[in-house]
Amino acid sequence: MSTGARRVAARVAAAVVMATALCATAHQRLAAGTLQPAGTSPAVSAAPSPGGGSATGPGTSPSPGSGTGSGAGAAVVARVAGARETVVSRRAVVAEGAAGRRTVDCRRVKCVALTFDDGPGPYTGELLRHLAAHQARATFFVVGQNVAAHPSVLRRAAAAGHEIGNHTWSHQDLTKLSAGAVRAELARADRAVKAATGFVPALVRPPYGAFDNAVRTGIRRPLVLWSVDTLDWLHRDSARVARVAIRSARPGGVILFHDIHPTTVRAVPRVLKALSRRGYTFVTVSELFGGPPPRLVYTGDAPPRH
C-alpha cells in the first residue's frame, strides 16, 4: 500500500472512531434527558417566587419592567398544570394550578387587560372562542339584566378563568341616584352573577365611567375604569376598533370594549394577534395588579351617554 493510501485509510479509521464516540454520547444525553431531539422545544420550568410572582428556570430571561427585551428565553413559556408542563405561548411564565388559577408577574412581562362591558349578549360566546384561541384572559363587567337573560354564557366565561365585574343591574348613571338606589343596583346585579356563577364580583365599573365622592365612598369595592377607550359603541367599524386598541395599548393598560356589538367581537382576533406579536400577555384586571386592585383604577374619560 502506498504512503498516500495509508494516510487516507488512517483518516477514515479516525473518523469512524470519532463518529462512534459522538453517537454514544448523544444516546447517553438523550437517555438522560439533557439533549433535545431535533425539531423539539425545551420546556421551561416555572415556580412561584417568594414574592408571589414567578421564577423562571434555566435558559429564561424575561426582561424587567415592561418586558420589552427579546432574549431567547423570552420566546418560551411553560404552563404548569399540576405536575405537568407544556410550552404554550411567549413572553410570560404563567404558572397554573389544578383549579385553573394562574400566576402572572406583570412586573416582569408586558401585560394588558382587555375589558368588556354591558354583556353578556348574543356575541359573547363567539368572543370567548376568540380569547380561548389565544389563551387570553379578560375581565367582563356585566349588566345584571343581561346576566339573567344569558346565565349559561356567563358561567362559560367564569369557567374559562375570565374575571367577572359588576356593571350594575340596569346600566344607570350612579351619580344621579340616591345612595340607597346605588346599593340596590349593585346588589341586584350581584345576586344575578351569584346565581349564574356561585360568587359575587369583587370589582365594579360604574356605567359611563361616572362617579363622584358619594359613589366612590359608598361602594366598598375597587372602581375600575380604563386607560384606553376604543369608542366601539360609537364607531361600529371593526377595523377602526382594532386599530385604536393596537395603537394605544401600553404595558399595564386597561382597554375598554363592549361585547354586545358584533363589530367589536369581529375586531378582537386582530387585536389579539397584533398584541401577541408585540409580546403582550392578556390578563384580568386583578392579575394586572397581582391581586386586588386599588380602590380606583385609572380615572377614565367618561364618554357621551350611549
C-alpha cell at 234: 360609537
| pLDDT band at residue 174 using 50, 70 and 90 as cut-offs | very high
In a domain, 65, yes or no: yes
Residues 183, 97 within the same domain: no
Residue 23 lies in a domain: no
Kindly state the cell numbers that stand for 105.
Answer: 408577574
pLDDT beyond 50 at 203:
yes
Residue 35 domain-assigned (yes or no): no
- The residue among 260, 228, 231, 144 whose CA lies nearest residue 191 is 144
Q: Is the pLDDT of residue 39 over 90?
A: no
Q: Check whether 236 has a pLDDT greater than 50.
A: yes
In this predicted model, which residue has the larger pLDDT, 259 or 65?
259
Q: Give residue 54's pLDDT.
A: 31
Residue 81 has pLDDT above 50, yes or no: no
Domains held by the chain: number: 2
- Report the percentage of the chain scoring pLDDT > 70: 64
- Pair (99, 117) in one structural domain: no
CB 119 within 8 A of CB 104: no
d(C-alpha 167, C-alpha 120), whole Å? 11
Question: Who contacts 123 (Cβ-Cβ below 8 Å, separation ≥6)?
Answer: 259, 260, 261, 262, 264, 265
Q: Does the pLDDT at position 77 exceed 60?
A: no
pLDDT at 167 over 50: yes
pLDDT band at 7 (very low <50, low <70, confident <90, very high): low
Whether residues 132 and 71 fall in one domain: no
Phi-psi region of 228 (alpha: psi -120 to 50; beta: other; left: phi over 0): beta
**90 in any annotated domain:** yes
Per-residue pLDDT, 298: 84
Out of 73-82, 93-102, 120-129, 261-270, least confident range:
73-82
| pLDDT for 9 | 55
Instruction: Find the mean pLDDT for residues 255-272.
Output: 98
Q: Choosing from 150, 258, 259, 261, which is the catalytic residue?
A: 258
Is residue 190 among the annotated active site residues? no
Instruction: Among 104, 132, 166, identify where a domain stops.
Output: 104
Domain span at 163? 111-297
Predicted local distance difference test score (pLDDT) of residue 102: 84
Contact partners, residue 255, CB within 8 Å, separation at least 6? 112, 113, 114, 115, 226, 227, 228, 230, 245, 248, 249
For residue 88, pLDDT over 50 is answered with: no
Least confident of 12-26, 156-170, 283-297: 12-26
- Distance between CA atoms of 236 and 208, rounded to whole angstroms? 18
- Whether 25 is in a domain gets the answer no
Whether residue 202 is predicted with pLDDT greater than 80 in this model: the reply is yes
Confidence (pLDDT) at 235: 97
Mean pLDDT for the chain overall:
76
pLDDT above 90: residue 300: no
Do residue 257 and residue 162 come from a single domain?
Answer: yes
Average pLDDT over residues 108-135: 98
Q: Say what the pTM is.
A: 0.69
Known catalytic membership, residue 105: no
Element (H, E) at 119: none
pLDDT at 225: 97
Q: Whole-angstrom Cα distance, residue 161 to residue 139?
A: 9
Q: Is 201 among the domain residues?
A: yes
User: Of residues 138 and 67, which shows the higher confidence score?
Assistant: 138
Q: How many whole angstroms separate alpha carbon 81 and alpha carbon 95? A: 8
Q: Is residue 137 part of a domain?
A: yes
Residues 83, 187 within the same domain = no
Q: Which of 117, 190, 229, 232 is catalytic?
A: 117
